[in-house]
């Protein structure tokens, strides 16, 4: 058996999705108990560093016992990810946590597709408060393969208040991900920020697609400003007020360690707000910046690209879904041709014209850094024009353009 890094108990709907992973052992409904029994007796089990558990309504108590036994007896396990936690009873969930708490090797714990989280909040809060090994905690609703989630699923304000009690007692958490929890509002964010501020250990925070508004944004801005160790911030796909965005941008300004920022969907069509953002970027040390669907004001876009041209830290930039006018294209081509730091740029779904693409190809040919431009759904539909683009990029380095 080749050395594997993940073991997965998967059922029904998730089976086909997970079969694409060549490093995963699949335990399906028909033989899952036997597969787990064989795995527990295998001398190879200590090679597994990651465990992905995808529960189904048909899981048996033997499956749960086998998985808990695997966790307890594997001293090299680093990451445990439980999908479809809503199929577990409160006691079953507690048994999983007890198994993880046995040894101090697990550093990443994930709950994916939590739906109604209230039955599990107290158990997880207790686990967080006493665990000293887990540094990465994820509780999110995502990867639903096209299923539209109802609003206010997952963590609500009461759940977050419970979790915050545990987070406040933990000095070791560095990464928190509560993305796609519609019930995380202003009250939730306030409790979370107060808990994180006890030790300022959290350096990576994801609140993508949640429901906080102005007061929650101000709480986050305050945490960024007073935590010099903050490195990663993901606030994508939220609803922001102009005052809230201003608070976030000013908190980012001059931050020495913030390297990754995902601001996708943050509306920057207001010229005044966009200028505040550009001014903040001048004094940051960002490495990756996501600005997809921000619709930045066209005049300010030119100024931002000018700042980007001289930037020496940003290696990845996302402009997907941007509405680019001719002057923006000219500024981008000049930036690409001269910037010596950029590695990747995303211009997907930007509705570019064929002449714009040719201008970008010429700029890439002048770049000495082997930059890669992602342009999904930007290439023209006319067959001979597509063929011409393929020919035009043939002499460039591999991966220069992704159409």
pLDDT, averaged across the chain: 85
Residue 20 lies in a domain: yes
Q: Please check the confidence at residue 172 and state whether its pLDDT lies above 90.
A: yes
Query: What percentage of the chain reaches a pLDDT higher than 90?
Result: 60
Alpha-carbon 2 to chain mean position: 30
Residue 203 CB coordination number (10 Å): 20
The reported pLDDT for the residue numbered 151 is 54
Residue 24 lies in a domain: yes
Residue 108 lies in a domain: no
By residue range, what is the domain housing residue 85?
1-99
Residue 25 lies in a domain: yes
The reported pLDDT for the residue numbered 251 is 96
Name every residue whose Cβ is closer than 8 Å to that of residue 299 and which is 6 or more positions away in sequence.
Answer: 271
- Read off the pLDDT band of 33 (50, 70, 90): low
Residue 383 lies in a domain: no
Q: Please check the confidence at residue 27 and state whether its pLDDT lies above 50.
A: no
Question: Do residues 249 and 278 make contact, with C-beta atoms less than 8 angstroms apart?
Answer: no
If one compares 44 and 77, the residue with the highest pLDDT of the two is: 77
* Tens digit of each residue's pLDDT (9 = 90 or more) over 68-124: 888 888 888 888 888 888 888 899 899 999 999 987 889 999 998 888 899 999 999
Residue whose entry in the numeric block shows the structure tokens 């609500």: 156
**Where are the strands (E) in 215-340, listed by range?**
232-234, 260-262, 288-290, 316-318
Residue 118 lies in a domain: no
Pairing relation of β-strands 401-402 and 50-54?
A: unpaired
Q: State whether residue 246 is helix, strand or coil.
A: helix
* Tens digit of each residue's pLDDT (9 = 90 or more) over 252-287: 999 999 999 999 999 999 999 999 999 999 999 999
* Tens digit of each residue's pLDDT (9 = 90 or more) over 306-319: 999 999 999 999 99
Q: Which of 330, 323, 373 lies closest to 352, judged by CA?
A: 323
- Read off the pLDDT band of 14 (50, 70, 90): very low
Q: State whether residue 93 is helix, strand or coil.
A: helix
Q: Which of 135, 130, 107, 12 lies closest to 51, judged by CA?
A: 107
How many domains are contained in the chain? 1
CATH number where 30 lies: 3.40.1360
Question: Do residues 319 and 301 make contact, with C-beta atoms less than 8 angstroms apart?
Answer: no
Residue 86 lies in a domain: yes
Global model pTM greater than 0.85: yes
Pairing relation of β-strands 316-318 and 344-346?
A: parallel
Residue 349 lies in a domain: no
Q: Please check the confidence at residue 127 and state whether its pLDDT lies above 70.
A: yes
């Amino acid at each position: 058996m080749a050395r594997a890094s993940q073991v997965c108990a998967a059922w029904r709907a998730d089976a086909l999705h997970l079969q694409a992973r060549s490093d995963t052992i699949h335990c399906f409904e028909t033989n899952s108990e036997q597969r787990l029994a064989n795995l527990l007796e295998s001398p190879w089990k200590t090679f597994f560093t990651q465990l992905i558990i995808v529960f189904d309504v048909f899981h048996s108590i033997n499956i749960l016992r086998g998985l808990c036994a695997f966790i307890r007896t594997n001293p090299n396990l680093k990451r445990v990810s439980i999908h479809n936690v809503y199929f577990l009873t409160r006691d079953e969930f507690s048994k999983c946590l007890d198994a993880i708490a046995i040894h101090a090797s697990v550093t990443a714990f994930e709950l994916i597709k939590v739906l109604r989280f209230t039955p599990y909040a107290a158990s997880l809060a207790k686990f967080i408060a006493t665990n000293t090994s887990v540094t990465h905690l994820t509780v999110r609703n995502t990867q639903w393969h096209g299923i539209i989630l109802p609003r206010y699923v997952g963590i609500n304000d009461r759940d977050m208040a419970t979790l915050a009690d545990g987070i406040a007692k933990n000095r070791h958490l560095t990464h928190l991900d509560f993305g796609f929890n519609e019930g995380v509002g202003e009250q939730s964010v306030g409790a979370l920020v107060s808990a994180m501020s006890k030790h300022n250990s959290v350096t990576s925070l994801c609140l993508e697609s949640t429901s906080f508004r102005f007061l929650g944004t101000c709480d986050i801005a305050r945490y960024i400003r007073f935590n010099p160790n903050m490195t990663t911030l993901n606030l994508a796909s939220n609803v922001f007020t102009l005052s809230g965005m201003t608070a976030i941008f000013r908190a980012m300004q001059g931050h020495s360690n913030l390297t990754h920022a995902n601001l996708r969907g943050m509306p920057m069509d207001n010229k005044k707000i966009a200028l505040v953002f550009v001014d903040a970027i001048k004094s940051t040390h960002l490495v990756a910046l996501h600005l997809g669907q921000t619709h930045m004001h066209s005049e300010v876009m030119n100024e931002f690209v000018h700042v980007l041209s001289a930037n020496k830290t940003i290696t990845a930039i996302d402009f997907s879904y941007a509405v680019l006018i001719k002057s923006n294209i000219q500024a981008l081509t000049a930036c690409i041709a001269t910037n010596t730091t950029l590695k990747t740029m995303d211009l997907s779904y930007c509705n570019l014209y064929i002449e714009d693409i040719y201008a970008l190809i010429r700029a890439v040919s002048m770049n000495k850094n082997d930059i890669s431009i992602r342009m999904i759904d930007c290439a023209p539909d006319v067959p001979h024009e597509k063929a011409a683009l393929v020919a035009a990029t043939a002499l460039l380095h591999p991966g220069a353009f992704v159409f």
